Structure 1
Amino acid sequence: MSKLNRMNARKLFFLAPKVITASFAASTFLCGSANAETKTIAIQRDPLSDRIVSDADIASATSNPSLIERGELHPNVLSQNVTSVSQLSDVRSTDWAFIALQSLVERYGVIAGYPDRTFRGKQALSRYEFAAGLNSALDKINEIISAGLADKVSKEDLATLQKLQTEFAAELATLRGRVDALDAKTVKLEAQQFSTTTKLRGEAIFSLAAASDGSNVPAGSDRTNTVFSYRARLNLDTSFTGKDLLRTRLQASNTQNLIAPALASGNTTRLSFDTGGTTNQFDLNRLYYRFPIGDNFTAYVAPIGQTEDIIDQLNPLTNDGQGTVSRFGRLSPLLRIGSGGSANADGSTGSVAVLGFDWKISPQGNLQVAYSANNAAAASAGGAGGLFGGSTVAIAQLVWKPSEALKLGIAYANSYHQTASLNSGLNQDSITGGTITGTRANTVVGSLVWDITNKITFNTWGSYVFADAVGSSGSTTFTSWATALSFKDVFNEGDLAAIIFGQPLYKNSVSGTATKGVLAANDATPYHLEALYRFRVTKNISITPAVYFVFNPNSDKTNGTATVGIIRTTFTF
């Protein structure tokens, strides 16, 4: 072959933009070709260094990507398209197909080659590589015909394409099969690709709160307790599959139990985010792993957790940094009893271990089960501690969603507490009378959440707690209920207004040797009324002024109405 013919033969290397990657891979796999010597045939200006870049530079960058990584060449120098077969090199013409396809390519502007205009190989164009170019020509002409421009394609060109397609039918079929397989694998990889990473999420609450008892006190006494406190949380969320979650939470706080002065004790006026801690040191507050088993089952294991992590609270205001500001308005007794307040025989509370699952039994229904042990890591003499021998709670809840706007829940909890109290952190939850060595309780709660509109939600819950004293014949029935109405995006997107009214935990009836104690003469049903408005300052900052009133606090009618005012600022990131 003459030198001129060899030069012309080096002009045809083409790949379709849509199949360029697959065909390059195929050529490397099938031919095992080595990098070819590149000749400089054009120049361009590098936008990074403003210097002239030759094809040799481009070829060097292609085989040595570190030039771009080091900033010696701009990535754009490798993105040029070739519009003419005569610009392509490293391809030899061996038969009629080269001339035929060359003519089609240049007339219809079909093909783009490697950025350095080379095949990067010393061998002639393989039949698979030629089939890739032919496939691109077929696609291009199909586009022209589909656009209603069939008259732009001559009968002679259609006949040539038909002949080429017949000649290379086997290669086209193989190539398209490989491309389809590659596309399918790419889609699968993109869908399944997940990098094991840990994301940091944080929340900080600044709180200025004041509690007043409203009672008659000696002249000159301060009738209001005003506190400025905080709570900070850092969540380290890790996923290994994209569907599971390992959460490690660090928490520091100095927010204590907020008590109106004349009440002296009790949990009536507690804030939703108080921790009782004053150490100002970060402690491990959560450590749990939640993972799916199949499509409808999610398991939960927590050496340090809470039942509320697996049991749906069925309360749109439950978030203590963005929703209710009172402890009462956040969770029903079902979850308060099972959320770490269960004391051990020595009065300590320890860490709470939780095991549970959420099973989607139907498109509308979920069965949620949780078991918590107050001090699972510590065993004591006589088997009184550990996972099963200490204070424990077992909960089952059925959540039913008959429509998008309505969610219903019915739940039951069986608990054992090593003291004469439910240790729920709620108002007046103790049992008195006789020699009591522990408490067994059965709790039933019904809940409803109704989205009246996209921005107005009504929710309510009601509970009964049937508690029996261990060591005596006394028993007590507690009742509690709450109802709330919330409004989203009232003035601005992200704003929230809400009003909550309900009855804190109250000893509804007493039998056996148990009595209501010193409250018997002054017994009265307590009530709670709360109003709040959350302003969304930015996406990550919100300010919530709120006020709530407790009537007959501690179930004693001689106590004045307790009033709590608060400004809560929440930062999230």
Structure 2
Amino acid sequence: MKLFQQLLVAPAALGLLAPVAANAAELNINGVSDYAASGEQVTSITQFSDVYPTDWAYQALSNLIERYGCVAGYPNGTYRGQRAMTRFEAAALLNACLDRVTEVTDELKRLMKEFERELAILKGRVDGLEAKVGELEATQFSTTTKLKGKTTFVTGAVNAGGNNGSEYVYRNRNYKFNGKTGTASVKRYTDKGKTYKNSKSYSSNGFKGGANAYNANYGAFTFNYDQRLAFNTSFTGKDKLYARLRAGNFTKGKNAFGGAGVNLTALDIATDSGASGTINNAVQLDRLYYKFPVGKEFTVIAGALARNTEALAMWPSVYNKGAIKILDWTGLMGTSGVYNKETGQLIGAYWKQNTKKGANAFSVSVNYVADDGNGNITNPNDGGFMTDNSEASFLAQIGYGGPEWGLAFAYRYGQCDSGNGLRRGTTFAKFDGKWNNDCYQQQYNAAGLTGGSLFSDVEDNNGYAVRSGGSTNSYALNAYWQPKNAGWIPSFSVGWAINQNTTNDKLPGSPVTSQSWMVGMKWDDVFLKGNDFGFAFGQPTFATQLEDCTGKFDGFCSDTPFDGNYVFEWYYNFQVTDNIAVTPAIFYMSRPMGQNTRNLVQNGQGYDGQFNLWGGLIQTTFKF
């Protein structure tokens, strides 16, 4: 290289060598070694006087000290964390920490080698346990039984107003309104070779029937209770074996809240666990059934003591769903001819569309129930399961809905049940003694009229019971809607039903078709969160078509129904705690006897006669 070129390169070379020389001057390698050797080893970050929790690397420094013990300070107890660190110092610190990690690793390797056999055995056992746990989680469920209880106290009374008069219903049946005995003039009418009896005893003093008679028999203030203990058992986590014990003192035939006198005053909660109305407070089993899923959408249910209304995929009402219920009729959405709470030996199934939680879904439900007094009898002439004398109900429902709105159509076939099968209605339409649909109609020898029963229906020369062929076909439409949020706008639940009665040799003037309807409104979170106010009104089952009786019964029979009636219900549910609720309620019934009301005035016809009921109660519920 020429001298001139060398002179040009020299400054650049000096520039490159200068930093190295400077760093070498600043860093004394021997000094680093001296620092490492003379550093004070610490076991806690608190030993440094110049390190504070507010320092940004406080936690990192603490971890290095406590986990690895590879950080040293200066002899004067300082760390000098703000001082610049050279690369050699960083290498020294990192090396010290790695040495500590290596020591720990070597110790672990030694222990692993020493216990290699034991670790292999343990690993095999853990793998086996994991496999078994996985199998158990997939297929096993611990059998669990949960106890739930509900105690209800009811205090209140019912009072009647209106006309007083006839003790007996004066139409095609001899029916005693208030359960008393008495004399009656008997008139016999012949139709199609059969002799029918009618009776009427009109009392002018007003104590044989009507308002005075009702109050004398059912007007007292009472204190009643209902106690339920339910056992819910699951074997798989998805099925349920349900058994319920129940006791109550709504004495049959003697308590208005149990439906005595006028069946419409019966409360949903009312039960009598006594025997024939003479003994109270006996504990009885009133539910026993088992249900299980089949796939994701089907459920099968079977029970020795189950109810048709409790074997449905959906309940098409929000009026008192999951809340307090007062009258039995309003609790059945006003369509008791279909949803009649038939209880007995049951088999059923339902399908519900598998959708996201909270979404609307289609559902189909079917069930068959033999009446509890018939389905367990081995004599097919008296009862049995799926026989001509089971007095059974077949219920089918198709519905669509979700939390906000829904609707359903239902059909029920009732075998031999035109009276009790309709469950709730006017005295005339429901007729506790049943108009036409007993499985058998009793027939009597005409020669034995004098000694015959005053309350027999049909008398002829046969002298034996003949099959009635009686049944009912009932149809119902129900719908509901509720707002997303509680406020001034209530939820609405509506229901309408029609019942058609079929039987051989219908009694002239007896109900052939009946209907019912109801509107229920409920306001949530009234005054306080969790408190509800409910109001419902409608017409319980009332006759809309009667069997033709033109020219029969000497003009005392009419095939024009005068069975109109109304029911109103108000309640306020005060939720004291999550487990205690106090519910005052009142109800009013106009003409609950229906067409029979005209018997309260002498020679009454059409809508003659007045009879109404007011009821007031306080229902206190305890859940546990």
Query: TM (normalized to structure 2)?
Result: 0.58
Tell me the equivalent position of 2:481.
450
1:342-381 to structure 2, matched below 5 A, reads 352-361=344-353, 363=355, 364-374=361-371, 375-381=374-380
Call closer, same or farther: CA 1:231–1:494 in 2, change over 3 Å: same
Once the two structures are aligned, what percentage of the paired residues are identical? 25
CA displacement, residues 279-301 of structure 1 (integer Å, 9 cap, x when unaligned): 31110100000100111100000
SS state of the match for residue 379, structure 1?
coil
Call closer, same or farther: CA 1:264–1:372 in 2, change over 3 Å: closer
Give the superposition deviation at 1:361.
4.5
CA contact (8 A) 1:553 1:559 kept: no
CA contact (8 A) 1:368 1:396 kept: yes
CA contact (8 A) 2:273 2:284 kept: no
Q: Within 2, Cα distance between the matches of 1:406 and 1:109?
A: 71
Call closer, same or farther: CA 1:226–1:303 in 2, change over 3 Å: same
Q: Give the partner amino acid of 1:367.
A: V
1:149-298 to structure 2, matched below 5 A, reads 194-215=141-162, 224-256=219-251, 265-278=261-274, 279-298=280-299
CA displacement, residues 318-346 of structure 1 (integer Å, 9 cap, x when unaligned): 46x942211110115766666565xxxxx
- Unaligned stretches of 5+ in structure 2? 1-65, 70-93, 165-205, 275-279, 356-360, 437-456, 459-466, 598-606
SS state of the match for residue 387, structure 2?
helix
Q: Within 2, Cα distance between the matches of 1:388 and 1:277?
A: 28
Give the superposition deviation at 1:101.
13
Count of aligned positions? 416
Call closer, same or farther: CA 1:550–1:419 in 2, change over 3 Å: closer
Call closer, same or farther: CA 1:521–1:387 in 2, change over 3 Å: closer
Q: Give the partner amino acid of 2:591.
A: N
Q: Within 2, Cα distance between the matches of 1:102 and 1:382?
A: 100
Kindly indicate whether residue 620 of structure 2 is the aligned counterpart of residue 569 of structure 1.
Answer: yes
CA displacement, residues 71-123 of structure 1 (integer Å, 9 cap, x when unaligned): xxxxxxxxxxxx8699xxxxxxxxxxxxx999669669999xxxxx9999896
Q: Give the partner amino acid of 1:292.
A: P
CA displacement, residues 482-514 of structure 1 (integer Å, 9 cap, x when unaligned): 111111222223211111011111001113469
Q: Give the partner amino acid of 1:314.
A: P
Kindly indicate whether residue 503 of structure 2 is the aligned counterpart of residue 469 of structure 1.
Answer: yes
CA contact (8 A) 2:154 2:617 kept: yes
CA contact (8 A) 1:337 1:424 kept: no
Q: Give the partner amino acid of 1:565.
A: G
CA contact (8 A) 2:589 2:614 kept: yes
Q: Give the partner amino acid of 1:546.
A: A
Call closer, same or farther: CA 1:423–1:190 in 2, change over 3 Å: same
Give the superposition deviation at 1:225.
2.7
Q: Within 2, Cα distance between the matches of 1:286 and 1:459?
A: 28
Tell me the equivalent position of 1:141.
none
- 1:503 alignment partner, one of 532, 535, 539: 539
Q: Give the partner amino acid of 1:461.
A: G
Give the superposition deviation at 1:182.
8.4
Tell me the equivalent position of 2:73.
none
CA contact (8 A) 2:415 2:470 kept: yes
Call closer, same or farther: CA 1:478–1:362 in 2, change over 3 Å: farther
Tell me the equivalent position of 2:470.
439
CA displacement, residues 259-311 of structure 1 (integer Å, 9 cap, x when unaligned): 669x9733121111112444311101000001001111000001101001112
Call closer, same or farther: CA 1:447–1:103 in 2, change over 3 Å: same
Q: Give the partner amino acid of 1:462.
A: W
Query: TM (normalized to structure 1)?
Result: 0.63
Call closer, same or farther: CA 1:260–1:369 in 2, change over 3 Å: closer
CA contact (8 A) 1:504 1:526 kept: yes
Tell me the equivalent position of 1:23.
none
Query: 1 or 2 for the larger relative contact order (CA 8 Å, sep ≥6)?
Result: 2
Q: Give the partner amino acid of 1:569.
A: T
Q: Within 2, Cα distance between the matches of 1:421 and 1:229?
A: 24
Q: Within 2, Cα distance between the matches of 1:109 and 1:467?
A: 95
- 2:315 alignment partner, one of 310, 313, 316: 313
Q: Within 2, Cα distance between the matches of 1:478 and 1:184?
A: 64
CA displacement, residues 25-64 of structure 1 (integer Å, 9 cap, x when unaligned): xxxxxxxxxxxxxxxxxxxxxxxxxxxxxxxxxxxxxxxx
Q: Which moved more, 1:519-528 or 1:286-295?
A: 519-528
- 1:532 alignment partner, one of 565, 571, 596: 571
SS state of the match for residue 329, structure 1?
helix
Q: Give the partner amino acid of 1:265.
A: G
Tell me the equivalent position of 1:481.
517
CA contact (8 A) 2:416 2:470 kept: yes
Instruction: Give RMSD over aligned pairs.
Output: 4.4
Q: Within 1, Cα distance between the matches of 2:96 and 2:425?
A: 85
Bigger Rg, structure 1 or 2:
2
CA contact (8 A) 2:472 2:502 kept: yes
- Unaligned stretches of 5+ in structure 1? 1-82, 87-99, 112-116, 133-173, 342-350
Q: Within 2, Cα distance between the matches of 1:421 and 1:287?
A: 22
